[in-house]
Amino acid sequence: MIISHTVNVDGKRRIYLGAQSSIDTWLEPKEDGRHWSVRFNTSDCGYHSRDDVLQAIIGQMNQLARALAVEPERLDEVTFDTIAALHTASNTRERRIPSPQRDTIETGFMVTPPGVARSKNDFSAPDFHKYHTKGRSRGSKP
């Protein structure tokens, strides 16, 4: 299972479970920093019944329990940081990765190993203006 610890420009943390798919599942820490809640989002391109979504999330939580060597019923006892420590070092090695776009780098969550602090500069793309003006992005003409 791919486990990706991520952080956004404001320092908000998430742990994405599995590879990107039509149902994205992630964990967010609660205020106490120890406990967490499950969140998900379905893609716009597919239809998912409530049962399909529920079964996919249950499957991912069961995989997470196996990775942590705990019973699924006890998964909520595992801390957010313990799960973050399972961060997959390189989930893109020899795989297709998305092309960067200015709006995603400044608003998205960036894969970040636990314990690594990112500055706000990591989330800015000053070189994108030059890139866009050459017509290499978003279908603009040179």
Residue 30 pLDDT exceeds 60: yes
- 112: how many CB neighbours lie within 10 A of its CB? 18
Give domain limits for the chain.
3-133
At 141 the pLDDT is: 45
Residue showing tokens 């050459």: 134
For residue range 114-140, list pLDDT tens digits in order: 887 777 776 666 654 554 455 444 444
At residue 105, the pLDDT reads: 59
Q: Which residues contact 13 (CB under 8 A, 6 or more apart)?
A: 5, 6, 7, 28, 29, 80, 84
